[in-house]
Structure 1
Amino acid sequence: MLTPPGRLVLLDAATLYFRAFHALPSTITAPDGTPVGAVRGFLDMVAVLVDRLRPGQLVAGWDEDWRPAWRVELIPSYKAHRVAADGAEEVPEALGPQVELIAQVLAALGVPRVGAPGCEADDVLGVLATRAAATGTGADVVSGDRDLLQLVDDAAAGGAGIRVVYIGRGVRDAEVVDAAALAARYGLDPARAGDAYADLAVLRGDPSDGLPGVAGIGEKTAAALLARYGDLPALLCAVDRGDPALSPTQRRHLLDARDYLTAAPRVVRVLREADVPALPPAPPSLRGAVDDAALDALAQRWGLRSSVDRVLAVLAG
């Protein structure tokens, strides 16, 4: 078991279904020939996670707005390379219908699927995790997106804060990242590891999201600068006063990126407060929340019996 049982477990649903889609062959199909590999893979990953995390409540974060206008206004290049001709997110043709089916299966399993206007799934997860930490429940956020490492904050007594179950190397090799682990990995202050990681992400940038970062400042240099100055505002103050501890090249690059560094923190930081629906009360048991008739119909129609049975077995365990 990766973490103490009974915590709120928040799934970054897109991470799971994109990984499932790319990991499994397109030859996995329903009886009518429709591809369902992403659905089967998604369910198999959920089964592994439930078995290892034993959540008190399981919730899927969903993208209602994958590229919010307010982020694009701040940095126009944000996710621009992933925009399809119709303005929606560019998604493999065979995946789109499977995402709709995954939503139906989650509903039949009794797993709330939560999204909110103007919010990416990351923001939804950030808001829900922050609420859980404030009430003392604690939350484990499951994702392969390193941006969500900024949510780590397990300083509350009894570990009732927020941890990230990072699946960058796969679900079976999931790693629980707490403040100590995050601080050790990146050389950050353990007392503010999550916030410091967000500053690091701003400086480093992320080409996959259209965020350029600061020229010449990669992850190691960003971590070293934050270790010296504490946070991004203090670093920028050092730039303005011409701190001799900064090399001329570093100072020039930071000055050249000033417009980006003014806008990027709001873009990079996951929301902690937003108009996100409240969660329903946690069920007495995860298995008891299942709509068996609806789930059986989906399993029969789409050839999902083995994957559905695997999930049901761990929910009952």
Structure 2
Amino acid sequence: MTAPAPDRPRRLLVVVDAPSLLHRSHHARAHTGTTDRAGRPAWALHGMLGQILEVIDGFAPDAVVFGLDDRRASERADLYPAYKAGRAEKDPALVEQLDRAGAMLDALGLATLTPPGLEADDVSASAATWAGAHGWDCVIVTSDRDAFAHISDHTRVLRLINGGVSASPLLTPARLVAMYGVPAEHYLEFAALRGDASDNLPGVSGIGEKTAATLLTQVGSMRTVWADVDRNEGRGVASTLDSWAAETGARRIGRTVVRRLTADGARERYDFNVRIMSGRDDLDLGLTPDVPGTPGLLPLDAHRIATVVGFLGVEATTSLAIRVLSTDPASAASGSDR
């Protein structure tokens, strides 16, 4: 692997959780009734594209990959039929745009990946791993907290919230600690303890966010916690938590936490959540950065952009797309900063 020259910024991969952007854009823009030149609903597609153009304009990445969900099969649902149960049925107009998104992005020349039986979250996990292995930086664009587990020195998460890209936080390891009190390398363990109501995954009974964060910051990894539970009936865990309480004036929770961790089904629930929440990080993204013109690499062909984006029927978006997507990435300019 060749290291980047001292005056050349590390190359940047942006990976987009396309379904999360389409869902948000659908609910925010359905009132516009925007259609494409064929008269089909296009407000979610237009909203997603607008957000991505803003991201690309701001970060000037070298490559962009879009993760899509396999909407016909799910390994997680096969393992846990209640996975994501309780969510409202999707609007048919949204379903149609979810089905068309991949074709539109492929036509533009951007890279898409729909892993069989898996989700966009798995593409994000694999992109973060790919970036680390190839000496690139990575920005994951999503509204899903699951991506927080992939934050590192080379990977940040732009978590889209109300207010759009400009109002959304760019999460780094330090910012994640400030938000949740846990380092990124322990976020998956934190989430498995807490659970995830949006995916219909209950956490370990009696262990909420604050207790989970305290446990992980004071004791360390859950491997250490479970080892003490197995070998010492959790006495070390309880002692550490109670010492922390004495130093800070907080309530003593040592024995209570150990009792909840050793309750029937607690460890099974934790292990199951880790299994369901863990993103696959070994997917082939199909990126060939040394072969110009391959899908996902920027810049894109201006005529192709005009044809594909122009079909959405919004002239201002077409003009913006041509400017943003046909511009060289930041790493192509010697000495430029991102």
- TM-score, normalising length from structure 2? 0.78
Superposed CA offset, 1:56-91 (max 9, x none): 11111111268632x345544322334x9xxxxx42
For the structure 1 residues 105 and 309, does the alpha-carbon distance in structure 2 shift closer, same or farther, using more than 3 Å as the test?
Answer: farther
Superposed CA offset, 1:179-232 (max 9, x none): 2222232222xxxx3220111000111111011012222211110011121112
- Distance (whole Å) between structure 1 residues aligned to residue 323 and residue 100 of structure 2: 21
Q: 2:286 aligns with which of 278, 281, 286?
A: 278
- Whether the 8 Å CA contact 1:108–1:290 is kept in 2: the answer is no
Equivalent runs, 1:167-246 vs 2, <5 Å: 167-169=160-162, 170-188=164-182, 193-240=183-230, 241-243=233-235, 244-245=238-239, 246=253
Q: Which residue of 2 aligns with 1:289?
A: 300
- Whether the 8 Å CA contact 2:301–2:326 is kept in 1: the answer is no
Q: Which amino acid aligns with 2:156?
A: R
- Distance (whole Å) between structure 1 residues aligned to residue 145 and residue 255 of structure 2: 31
For the structure 1 residues 18 and 248, does the alpha-carbon distance in structure 2 shift closer, same or farther, using more than 3 Å as the test?
Answer: same
- Whether the 8 Å CA contact 2:192–2:277 is kept in 1: the answer is yes
- Whether the 8 Å CA contact 1:12–1:121 is kept in 2: the answer is yes
Larger gyration radius, structure 1 or structure 2: 2
- Whether the 8 Å CA contact 2:149–2:187 is kept in 1: the answer is yes
- Distance (whole Å) between structure 2 residues aligned to residue 211 and residue 199 of structure 1: 14
Secondary structure in 2 matching 1:30: coil
- Distance (whole Å) between structure 2 residues aligned to residue 289 and residue 269 of structure 1: 33
Q: Which residue of 2 aligns with 1:157?
A: none
Q: Which residue of 2 aligns with 1:93?
A: 92
Superposed CA offset, 1:234-267 (max 9, x none): 2233444142445444333322322211222111
Consecutive unaligned residues of structure 1, counting only runs of 5 or more, are 85-89, 155-160
For the structure 1 residues 32 and 123, does the alpha-carbon distance in structure 2 shift closer, same or farther, using more than 3 Å as the test?
Answer: closer
Superposed CA offset, 1:102-125 (max 9, x none): 323212321111122232111112
Q: Which residue of 1 aligns with 2:27?
A: 22
Equivalent runs, 1:35-46 vs 2, <5 Å: 35-46=41-52
- Whether the 8 Å CA contact 1:153–1:179 is kept in 2: the answer is yes
For the structure 1 residues 65 and 130, does the alpha-carbon distance in structure 2 shift closer, same or farther, using more than 3 Å as the test?
Answer: farther
- Distance (whole Å) between structure 2 residues aligned to residue 287 and residue 242 of structure 1: 53
Cα deviation for residue 298 of structure 1 reads 5.9
- Distance (whole Å) between structure 1 residues aligned to residue 304 and residue 285 of structure 2: 27
Secondary structure in 1 matching 2:258: helix
- Distance (whole Å) between structure 1 residues aligned to residue 308 and residue 285 of structure 2: 29
Q: Which amino acid aligns with 2:287?
A: L
Secondary structure in 1 matching 2:170: strand
Cα deviation for residue 126 of structure 1 reads 0.9
Q: Which residue of 2 aligns with 1:107?
A: 106
For the structure 1 residues 288 and 151, does the alpha-carbon distance in structure 2 shift closer, same or farther, using more than 3 Å as the test?
Answer: closer
Q: Which residue of 2 aligns with 1:8?
A: 13
- RMSD of aligned C-alpha atoms? 2.7
Equivalent runs, 1:62-141 vs 2, <5 Å: 62-64=68-70, 68-69=74-75, 71-72=76-77, 74-82=79-87, 90-141=89-140
Identity in percent? 35
- Whether the 8 Å CA contact 1:67–1:120 is kept in 2: the answer is no
Q: Which residue of 2 aligns with 1:166?
A: 159
Q: Which amino acid aligns with 1:262?
A: D
- Distance (whole Å) between structure 2 residues aligned to residue 291 and residue 96 of structure 1: 29
* Corresponding pairs, count: 295
Cα deviation for residue 277 of structure 1 reads 4.1
Q: Which amino acid aligns with 1:42?
A: M
Cα deviation for residue 292 of structure 1 reads 2.5
Bigger mean CA offset, 56-65 vs 142-151: 56-65
Q: Which amino acid aligns with 1:260?
A: R
